[in-house]
Amino acid sequence: MNQFLLQQGKAAELRLFPHLLEVGVKKNGAIQLNAFLTTTTECLRIYYIIEGKFEWRINHQSYVFYPGDVAVILPGTPFGSDNGILEIGSFTWLHLAIQKLDNGHLLPGKWSGLTESEGAAIGKILSLNSSPVLTRFTEAGKILKCIQAELFNHEIGFQACINHQLDELMIQTTRHMTRQSQPGRDFPKTFMRLEEVLRQDLSHQWTVEEMAALVGLGTTLFTERVKSYSGFSPINYLINIRISEAIKLLKRPDISVTDIALDTGFYSSQHFSTTFKKLTGYRPSEFRKNHLKNK
């Protein structure tokens, strides 16, 4: 489905669903600055990563999201990214109005077909959950896609179907939360360790064979795993790490652009400038100037 944005009060598709405040799909082909600013709302926000890798801050802590991961942002929780940077990739989301009780627990609205006890249990699990990241929660992506299709197709019974799917999303979300304490996804940990090693020596011209060897995999399996978890080829994954590190360094005016280019593994300042502009829309010097002006 192509990208779109439906907002309550503006979109006719949401007229029968006052509890659905926002629904959207975003496909981002280049790094954008000031496009994902930190905001705080009183609704429940659920974001599903379709492809790419995103570093977002939730309640002032940084989290990394890969395809299949879900961000669950509770009412009153700050959510965004450093400097509003929106990375390359695509994701879908919905914002849902939800009741917050005096004890801090959440309750689905009157639209829900859940029993009173089921709704209370789900609201309690949501409000007590300490991790806003649900890994490999592909079921959420399927439910969100179904909701979007129903909103646009208006087939018979679509109103009941959408509310049923919202209940299903709440049920599956809280079930996933309770299961997540169990181990079972070891490659992302390996992924994080790999990224740490790469960041420590980004000036080195890493090959796919070297990166695969670091995690003890053959190049074919390594390439498949990287694509599965990040949506990128290994080389493009490495380039995104280089650009991410360069963005951090460009915020320091005491380091020259040429030094940043070489320290982050680009062949020259021109190579760095061309790649940086391709992925962010800005030349490095322009990015630094804008950052210092808005600081």
Q: Residue 50 is part of a domain; what is its CATH number?
A: 2.60.120.280
Residue 183 has pLDDT above 70, yes or no: no
Provide the pLDDT for residue 209.
Answer: 84
Cα dist. 88→52, 135, 158, 182 in Å?
A: 6, 19, 33, 30
SS3 2: coil
Domain that includes residue 168, residue range: 4-179
| pLDDT band at residue 217 under the 50/70/90 scheme | confident
What does the alpha-carbon distance between residue 265 and residue 272 come to, in Å, rounded to a whole number?
A: 9
Please give the tally of structural domains in the chain: 2
Confidence class for position 43, pLDDT limits 50, 70, 90: very high
Looking at residue 182, its pLDDT comes to 46
pLDDT at 124: 76
pLDDT at 95 over 90: yes
Kindly give, in sequence order, each residue whose CB lies less than 8 Å from that of residue 72, ignoring residues fewer than 6 positions away.
Answer: 44, 45, 46, 126, 129, 132, 133, 134, 173, 177
Structure confidence at residue 185 as a pLDDT band (50, 70, 90): very low
Same domain, yes or no: 16 and 107: yes
Q: 67 and 168, same structural domain?
A: yes
How large is the average pLDDT for residues 192-198?
85
Domain membership of residue 184 (yes or no) is no
Q: Name which residue leads in pLDDT, 294 or 112.
A: 112
Q: Pull the structure tokens for residue 154.
A: 């208006």
Q: How many residues does the chain have?
A: 295
246 located within any domain: yes
- Same domain? 64 vs 37: yes
Task: Give the Cα-Cα-Cα angle 104, 17, 127 (nearest 5 degrees).
Answer: 15
Residues 57 and 138 in one domain: yes
Contact at 8 Å (CB) between 55 and 244? Answer: yes
Structure confidence at residue 107 (pLDDT): 82
Pair (84, 216) in one structural domain: no
- In this prediction, residues 29-58 reach a mean pLDDT of 91
Tokens of 51: 């492809």
